[in-house]
């Protein structure tokens, strides 16, 4: 059976942007900005995304398209007989781990979308009461699991459609909808009285706030947001045609990801400042602070529906890409049908997700190296597995693959003049800059 490919450049871009643009932008990025100093964090983040994360993204796509196979087999095909084949195990296992807890947060977005549609769940509630509502929900047993299940079923339904009719079609429709929705919310937010202070917080950097922790957090956010280091972009790269421009669609993916993160911050931070709230709320910003803002702003009921709808779509576009990595492995290596493969990945991630969900309540007493099950999955993937995956990718591309093969893939056989001009710089970043920086970040996470 012929392997599926993305049919258009726009489809490639929307699929890759959909993977990159997710909860990392709409949920994680704004609270990271709040915790790590506002514009100073954004300044460091922009530099690291284009200096380091983008070359890693190039590396993943190069390996994927060159090997023309799934994340598990890519290294073995390009370096037959070597131990590099074991890197593929990490590339398949990490997305499975991530989607297991990611889907729990996706379930929370479904719960809050449903609450928003009642038009009154936040009315008259104080900030403390809304925090209690969120805590009561995530610590309960059945409703979070039900929403987690619904979210996983939605993800599985898209992946079941395949590369063209499922992933590509979904991205083409939902990504423009997502951008337009968040832009509409941002316009409403920046027009609130007092919103200017929030904009200054986002775009007027205080460079004295930049330290090692800010740099480490910004790079970790870049890995998380751009989906590098855990096989997704490698898998999507394997679905792209040989005449597609790797530099072009990878760079556009990074730009779209950054732009969306900034728009999302403009949708949230100006409103936070307009209501005199603390921007350093952390992970509860979206589910505790924003409902209070929506309840007290003009047209807040409508804005709440739009926001949690956008949050759901963002979560789905990323969970689809995470899910596809495992499915591609089962289809191509175990020769199972896509339907059976989807069912297997669904079953594994659904069960693991239940444990993650219950770790806020019934299983909260289970301690794994000082963490709940949910936090252990989160920290293990974000702090260790993703950086390790990124390190393996750049070492493989920069030191194991032959330089002419890397340049050939990056320039489409030398036919892309623009890519030829920058290929030396890109290769230098992949070979000499990315590995030591990732090692430094990896060690800092261990300390």
For 368, which DSSP code?
A: B
Give the CA-trace dihedral at 96, 430, 48, 54, to 10 degrees.
-60
| Residues whose CB falls within 8 Å of the CB of residue 403, separated by 6 or more in sequence, listed in order | 427
Phi, psi of 368 (to 5 degrees): -120, 100
With vertex at residue 191, the alpha carbon angle to CA 189 and CA 195, rounded to the nearest 5 degrees, is: 70
C-alpha to C-alpha distance for 147 and 353, rounded to whole angstroms: 11
- Cβ-Cβ contacts under 8 Å for 327 (sequence gap 6 or more): 159, 338, 341, 342, 345
Which pLDDT belongs to residue 123? 66
Query: Considering the entire predicted model, what is its pTM?
Result: 0.88
Q: Are 181 and 310 in contact (CB under 8 A)?
A: yes
What's the CA gap between 86 and 96, in Å, rounded? 16
Q: Tell me the CB-side half-sphere exposure of residue 372, using CA atoms within 13 A.
A: 16
Q: Which of 58, 5, 90, 12 is nearest to 401 (CA)?
A: 58
CA distances from 249 to 58, 157, 159, 207, 280 (A): 10, 26, 22, 32, 34
Please give the class, per CATH, of domain 9-446. mainly alpha
> Which value, to the nearest 10 degrees, does the dihedral of the CA atoms of residues 72, 394, 21, 237 take?
-50
Contacts with 342 (C-beta within 8 Å, 6 or more apart), sequence order: 156, 159, 160, 323, 327
Which residues, in sequence order, are CB contacts of 174 under 8 Å at separation 6+? 18, 313, 316, 317
- Token pair in block for residue 447: 């300390």
The rounded distance, in Å, linking the Cα atoms of 117 and 351 is: 29
Look up residue 166 and give its DSSP letter.
I
**Rounded Cα distance, 390 and 148, in Å:** 29
CA distance 447 to 444: 5
What beta strand segments (E) does 194-342 contain? none
pLDDT given at position 373: 93
- How long a stretch of residues is the chain? 447
Contacts of 296-300 with C-beta under 8 Å, sequence gap 24+, read 297/188, 297/192, 297/271, 299/188, 300/122
Which two three-digit tokens encode residue 392? 């393996």
For the chain, state the CA radius of gyration. 21
Where do the domains of the chain lie?
9-446
CA distance 307 to 418: 39
Residue pLDDT tens, the chain, 447 long: 456 677 777 777 777 777 777 777 777 788 788 888 888 899 999 998 888 889 999 999 999 999 988 888 899 899 998 889 888 899 999 999 999 998 999 999 999 999 888 876 666 667 778 778 888 999 999 999 999 999 999 999 989 887 667 776 777 777 788 888 888 888 888 888 888 888 888 888 888 888 877 887 888 788 777 878 888 889 888 888 888 899 998 898 889 889 888 888 888 888 888 877 777 666 667 787 778 778 777 777 888 888 888 888 888 888 888 898 999 899 988 899 999 999 999 999 999 999 999 999 899 989 898 889 998 998 888 778 888 899 999 999 999 999 999 999 999 988 989 899 999 999 999 999 999 988 887 777 676
């Amino acid at each position: 059976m012929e392997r599926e490919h993305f049919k258009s450049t726009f489809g490639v871009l929307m699929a890759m942007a959909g993977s990159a643009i997710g909860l990392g932008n709409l949920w994680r990025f704004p609270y990271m900005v709040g915790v790590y100093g506002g514009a100073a964090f954004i300044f460091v983040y922009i530099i690291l995304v284009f200096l380091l994360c983008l070359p890693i993204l190039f590396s993943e796509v190069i390996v994927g398209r060159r090997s023309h196979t799934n994340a598990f087999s890519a290294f073995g095909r390009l370096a037959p007989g070597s131990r590099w084949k074991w890197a593929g195990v990490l590339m398949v296992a990490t997305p499975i781990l991530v989607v297991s807890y990611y889907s729990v947060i996706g379930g929370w977005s479904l719960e809050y979308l449903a609450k928003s549609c009642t038009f009154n769940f936040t009315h008259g509630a104080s900030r403390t009461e809304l925090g209690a509502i969120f805590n009561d929900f995530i610590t309960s047993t059945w409703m979070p699991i039900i929403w987690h299940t619904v979210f996983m079923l939605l993800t599985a339904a898209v992946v079941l459609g395949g590369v063209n009719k499922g992933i590509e079609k979904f991205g083409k429709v939902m990504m423009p909808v997502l951008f337009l929705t968040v832009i509409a919310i941002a316009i409403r937010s920046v027009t609130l009285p007092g919103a200017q202070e929030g904009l200054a917080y986002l775009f007027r950097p205080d460079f004295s706030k930049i330290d090692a922790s800010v740099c480490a957090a910004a790079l970790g956010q870049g890995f998380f947001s751009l989906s590098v280091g855990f096989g997704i972009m490698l898998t999507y790269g394997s679905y792209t045609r040989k005449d597609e421009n790797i530099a072009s669609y990878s760079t556009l993916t990074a730009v779209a990801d950054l732009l969306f993160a900034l728009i999302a911050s403009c949708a949230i931070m100006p409103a936070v400042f307009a209501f005199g709230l603390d921007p350093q709320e952390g992970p509860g910003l979206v589910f505790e602070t924003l409902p209070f803002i929506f309840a007290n702003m003009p047209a807040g009921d409508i804005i709440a529906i739009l926001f949690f709808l956008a949050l759901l779509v963002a979560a789905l576009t990323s969970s689809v890409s995470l899910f596809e990595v495992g499915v591609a492995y089962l289809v191509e290596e175990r020769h199972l049908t896509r339907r059976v493969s989807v069912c297997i990945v669904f079953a594994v991630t659904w069960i693991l997700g239940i444990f993650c969900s219950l770790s806020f309540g019934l299983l909260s007493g289970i301690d794994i190296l000082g963490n709940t099950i949910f936090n252990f999955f989160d920290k293990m993937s974000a702090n260790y597995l993703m950086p390790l995956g990124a390190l393996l990718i750049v070492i493989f591309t920069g030191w194991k693959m032959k330089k002419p093969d890397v340049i050939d893939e990056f320039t489409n056989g030398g036919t892309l003049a623009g890519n030829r001009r920058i290929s030396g710089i890109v290769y230098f970043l992949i070979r000499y800059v990315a590995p030591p920086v990732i090692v430094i970040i990896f060690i800092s996470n261990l300390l």
